[in-house]
């Protein structure tokens, strides 16, 4: 936990400054660390991530296959141009044009939605990454977390830019 706190530059405070996109390599590393902060995801089952609209993000997540996430491990990373055929644990949204449909899918199927497009978090994606003032930030939509039935370690709320 302390490593994540330090990596993120301490507590994120609300600011009017826009967030900018983070390279996919950093996004994948950040999301892997944050997934360990959800009891539903890190409880011991294999984790699958499906990526839509970002081959670069899919490639970075694939590099982490076999990595432990809490008591779980990342077992599979798949990708497509739309809704996955099999229900993943998490879905990475890399295409703004499909975001509404994918957000609806995640909520209906209790799948964690993630993105590297900071603007999508206030629009309903649960977890995002962005930079502001050259600092990496976790972006977290609290309402979306509830709708996707994801429970986070309270520490995540303290170190994130929270959208309600």
> Which of 2-6, 18-22, 38-42, 113-117 is least confident?
2-6
Burial (CB count within 10 angstroms: exposed 0-12, middle 13-18, buried 19+), residue 94 = buried
CA contacts within 13 A on the Cβ side of 25: 0
Q: How far apart are CA 124 and CA 128, in angstroms?
A: 10
Determine the 3-state secondary structure of 67 from DSSP. Answer: coil
Domain spanning 19-163: CATH 3.40.50.720: no
Report the chain's mean pLDDT, rounded to a whole number: 90
């Amino acid at each position: 936990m302390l490593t994540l706190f330090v990596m993120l530059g301490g507590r994120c405070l609300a600011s009017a400054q826009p967030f900018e996109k983070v390279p996919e390599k950093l996004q994948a590393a950040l999301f892997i660390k944050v997934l360990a902060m959800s009891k539903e995801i890190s409880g011991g089952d294999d984790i699958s991530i499906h990526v839509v609209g970002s081959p670069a993000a899919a490639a970075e997540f694939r590099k982490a296959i076999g990595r432990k996430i809490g008591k779980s491990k990342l077992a599979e990373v798949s990708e497509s141009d739309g809704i996955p055929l099999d229900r993943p644990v998490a879905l990475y949204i890399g295409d703004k044009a499909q975001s509404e449909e994918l957000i609806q899918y995640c909520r209906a199927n209790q799948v964690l939605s993630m993105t590297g497009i900071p603007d999508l978090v206030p629009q309903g994606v649960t977890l995002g990454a962005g930079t502001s003032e050259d600092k990496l930030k976790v972006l977290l939509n609290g309402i979306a977390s509830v709708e996707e039935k994801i429970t986070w370690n309270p520490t995540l709320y303290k170190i994130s830019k929270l959208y309600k």
